[in-house]
Amino acid sequence: MKLGGLAAVCLAGAALASGSEGIRALSTDAAHVTGGDVLLEVSVPPGNRIMAGERDVTSVFHTDTATGKLTGVVTGLPLGKSIIRAGAASLEVNNYPVTGPVFSGPWQQPFICQTEEFKLPDGTALGAPLDANCSAATVIQYVYMPKGGATSRFKPLPNPASVPADVATTTTVTGATVRFIVRVETGTMNRGIYQNVILHDPATDPAPTPANPPRGWNHRLIAVHGSGCATGWYVQGAVEGVNPLDPERLGQGYALFTNTLNHPTNSCNAIVAAEATMMGKEHFIETFGVPFYTISTGGSGGAYTSLQIADAFPGLIDGVFIRATFPDALAIAMSGLDAHLLMHYFTVNPEGMTEKQKVAVGGYAGMQAMVDAANQSQRTDPVPNRVDIEGYLSARWNKAVPAALRYDPVTNPKGARPTVFDAARNVYGTNPETGAALRPFDNTGLQYGLHALNTGAITPAQFLDLNERIGGVDTDGNYIASRSVGDPAAIQRTYQAGLMLNGKGGLASIPVFDNATSKETGGYHYGWFHYALRDRLREANGDSANMVMWRSLPEVAENRDAEELFDRWMMAYKSDESSDAQRTKVLRAKPAGGTEGCFDKEQFIAESLDFTSQPVSGCSKLYPVYSNPRKEAGGPLAANVLKCQLKPVSTEDYSVAFSDAEMARLRTVFAGDVCDFSKPGINQVPLVTWPSFGPAPEHLVWDQSGH
């Protein structure tokens, strides 16, 4: 397909376009307009005036020569609902402040501004915040790639009217040869700091508009996300966690955009990240035009943010290209809590099991891997300076948050709580007495070490002692003798919001490419998370045919063959103008090389990837994959059951014989019955796509502000 002006990409790229017959919003859904402006397409007979409320805005529209339709950016919309009219056609738009929120719920408080710390391409700071919402003036700067320079080193272009003689040229994937000059726009939206970057030569190109985008843009847009999660609360963020100035992607003609709130180390809340992505894409389209496709990419926290946004907010993202994958932030926290409880039991009962037995119970490759996993529960622990296993760091904070604002159970019980649950309290809800976020973690009925028992790795006596004494944790992360009980309503909303990745939303019908790097021996980036993602897609959709997983060595993580294959896949399915379902188009467009497999250094081995630590094939020899405590307790590989349904204790579940005394003790340990993982979890309800937690009324799950 030839990619020319706006008309060539509108129908293919405007997945979020909405409207009535005759008027469509192209930059976002008409119900979620932000910042007072929106790109519209109008197709009514000539001579009709276009009115925004009582204002005549006809003059901002121009005829697209390819379609004959009018397009234009209407600005100055008041907050709330407005009616756009053209002849007999009308469209209601709902405009929200550029500071948000739209659907993420009440603002997180406290919130620390960091515009003064954020560095622009020329090394200067964005400047002091203009208001309590951390706003800053929009700044446009230019950088360029010098001839013969390092391919990752851009230089500032202080005077866009005077282009240096040493500027390099680049030829994009669409064949345009342009000077390698990049426009960098920085500003604030949704209380975060955003940037978008695109090839644009200010000396030869006119100022960009949707009708006249930069000549070097290949009409493909990339949403980039940062990483991490720990410390991701109460700050605007002084860095984005990933540099959008990607010389290879920009040299190919791609445009990129991001926001400090798309960096989980600043904001570990996928709903806020989705809101920032929606607003950033909307603004990009209103500045440059509708992309042919939009993909989301990132590693670690950037991987799960990409997945969660694409799934819960279908139409926002057209494809996901990720690495160092987790399904969601909860997968790390929940498995970390299980491992933490095991490590606590092993610590207070050091002679109870051998190291080999402990590893069998945990499922990890070794003790160090289990320790590293256990220490990730620190992102659920708000109590400062807790003494625990080696390497454990409770109450993780960004240094920008003043100590006086931080929670302490003794000295500041009303302070801000530094946990992954409190970061998304609008979803989980709060305890009205303590102000702490409600928690979905639950280990009621869980038979830790069940697989180790059934394979003979541990004895019935060890199994009984473990499950009798394993206990749980309370809201403050303190060990308690009883099992943890997750809040039922919080569990339900976790599923509704997609904080527990579902897979049946947007991910059901877009390409997903997992460049699956992992390290089984430690560091908590383990292979089973990749397989959990694949299993969730299979469970939700019957198969994972729209997902490609390549196991890779860390040094092959930026595999260019994968990027090229993914682009061909994206272009093919987005070019399919048939009336078939999108999933059908995606599967039909999948390139022949889009098969599962792994790399032996630089050589690719095409084969199905099995979840096993045993060397049964080429890939499993190279990339054995290990388990986790809940899987070893009989749970699903998908790791998507927060609270299990229960069943009575039955001897049929065990491959070993219990004595009468042991069986009596077993029934006492599990007096409330044991997990039945053959059934869905309690309150494991479907995903609500485009979920709202206020103020947007569409798809409202609940609104803690009372709106």
Please report the pLDDT score of residue 650 as a whole number. 94
Average pLDDT over residues 478-501: 98
Over residues 587-644, the pLDDT tens digits come to 999 999 999 999 887 789 999 999 999 998 899 999 999 999 999 999 999 999 999 9
List for the chain the helix, strand, coil content (%; round to 5).
30, 20, 55
Q: Is the pLDDT of residue 392 over 60?
A: yes
Average pLDDT over residues 338-365: 97
Q: Is the pLDDT of residue 266 over 80?
A: yes
Taking the C-alpha atoms of residue 318 and residue 566, their distance in angstroms, rounded to an integer, is 12
Terminal CA-CA length for the chain: 46
Residue 333 tokens read as 């926290």
Please report the pLDDT score of residue 329 as a whole number. 97
Based on the number of CB atoms within 10 Å of its own CB, is 703 exposed (0-12), middle (13-18) or buried (19 or more)? middle
Please report the pLDDT score of residue 66 as a whole number. 73
Over residues 427-449, the pLDDT tens digits come to 999 999 999 999 999 999 999 99
Scanning the structure block, which residue is given the tokens 């035009």? 289
Q: What is the 3-state secondary structure (H, E, C) of 387-411?
A: CCCCCCCCCCCCCCCCHHHECECCC
Q: How far is CA 38 from CA 82, 94, 137, 188, 678, in A?
A: 12, 10, 20, 17, 48
Based on the number of CB atoms within 10 Å of its own CB, is 481 exposed (0-12), middle (13-18) or buried (19 or more)? exposed
Over residues 162-172, the pLDDT tens digits come to 999 999 999 99
How many helices (DSSP H) and strands (DSSP E) are in the chain?
18, 28
Q: How far is CA 605 from CA 511, 587, 597, in A?
A: 21, 22, 5
Q: Is the pLDDT of residue 232 over 70?
A: yes
699: nearest Cα among 188, 306, 274, 77:
274
Q: Quick check: 201 and 207 in contact, CB under 8 A?
A: no
356 — phi, psi (to 5°)? -60, -40
Q: How confident is the model at residue 661 (pLDDT cuts 50, 70, 90)?
A: very high
The C-alpha angle 47, 290, 209, rounded to 5 degrees, equals: 70
Helices (H), 437-559: 450-454, 460-469, 488-497, 528-541
Length of the chain: 707
Q: How confident is the model at residue 707 (pLDDT cuts 50, 70, 90)?
A: very low
Asked whether the bond before 101 is cis by omega within 30 degrees of 0, the reply is: yes
Q: State the architecture of 6-96 in CATH terms.
A: Sandwich (2.60)
Q: How far is CA 636 from CA 329, 334, 361, in A?
A: 18, 14, 16
Taking the C-alpha atoms of residue 266 and residue 271, their distance in angstroms, rounded to an integer, is 14
Q: Quick check: 673 and 649 in contact, CB under 8 A?
A: yes
378: nearest Cα among 499, 228, 237, 532:
228
Q: Is the pLDDT of residue 260 over 90?
A: yes
Over residues 149-166, the pLDDT tens digits come to 666 689 999 998 899 999
Q: How far is CA 423 from CA 327, 337, 466, 534, 677, in A?
A: 18, 17, 32, 27, 29
Average pLDDT over residues 545-563: 79
Q: Is the pLDDT of residue 704 over 90?
A: no
Q: Is the pLDDT of residue 67 over 80?
A: no
Please report the pLDDT score of residue 518 as a whole number. 85
Scanning the structure block, which residue is given the tokens 């926001």? 259
Reduced to 3 states (helix: H, G, I; strand: E, B; else coil), residue 182 is strand
Domain limits, the chain: 6-96, 330-496+643-675, 499-631
Asked whether the bond before 554 is cis by omega within 30 degrees of 0, the reply is: no
Q: Is the pLDDT of residue 45 over 90?
A: no
Q: Is the pLDDT of residue 454 over 60?
A: yes
Average pLDDT over residues 651-663: 96
Which residues lie closer than 8 Å to 474 by C-beta, 6 or more apart? 480, 484
Q: How far is CA 369 from CA 222, 352, 373, in A?
A: 34, 20, 6
Q: Is the pLDDT of residue 455 over 70?
A: yes
Question: Considering the chain, what percentage of its residues have pLDDT values greater than 70?
Answer: 95
Please report the pLDDT score of residue 381 as a whole number. 98
Average pLDDT over residues 460-478: 98
Which residues lie closer than 8 Å to 90 by C-beta, 6 or more apart? 20, 23, 83, 84
Q: How far is CA 482 from CA 265, 382, 672, in A?
A: 32, 20, 12
Q: Is the pLDDT of residue 3 over 60?
A: no
Q: Is the pLDDT of residue 13 over 50?
A: no
Please report the pLDDT score of residue 236 as a whole number. 98
Please report the pLDDT score of residue 516 as a whole number. 85
Q: How far is CA 281 from CA 195, 196, 523, in A?
A: 11, 9, 34
Count CB-CB contacts under 10 A for residue 472: 19
Of all helices (H) and strands (E), which one includes residue 287?
helix 270-288
Count CB-CB contacts under 10 A for residue 169: 12
Please report the pLDDT score of residue 10 as a whole number. 36
Please report the pLDDT score of residue 4 as a whole number. 36
Q: Is the pLDDT of residue 531 over 60?
A: yes
Please report the pLDDT score of residue 6 as a whole number. 36
Q: Is the pLDDT of residue 11 over 50?
A: no
Q: Is the pLDDT of residue 64 over 70?
A: yes
Over residues 87-117, the pLDDT tens digits come to 999 999 999 999 999 999 999 999 999 999 9
Please report the pLDDT score of residue 616 as a whole number. 87
Taking the C-alpha atoms of residue 464 and residue 480, their distance in angstroms, rounded to an integer, is 18
Please report the pLDDT score of residue 46 as a whole number. 82
Question: Considering the chain, what percentage of its residues have pLDDT values greater than 90?
Answer: 90
Please report the pLDDT score of residue 554 as a whole number. 61
Which residues lie closer than 8 Å to 124 by C-beta, 6 or more apart? none
Taking the C-alpha atoms of residue 598 and residue 619, their distance in angstroms, rounded to an integer, is 6
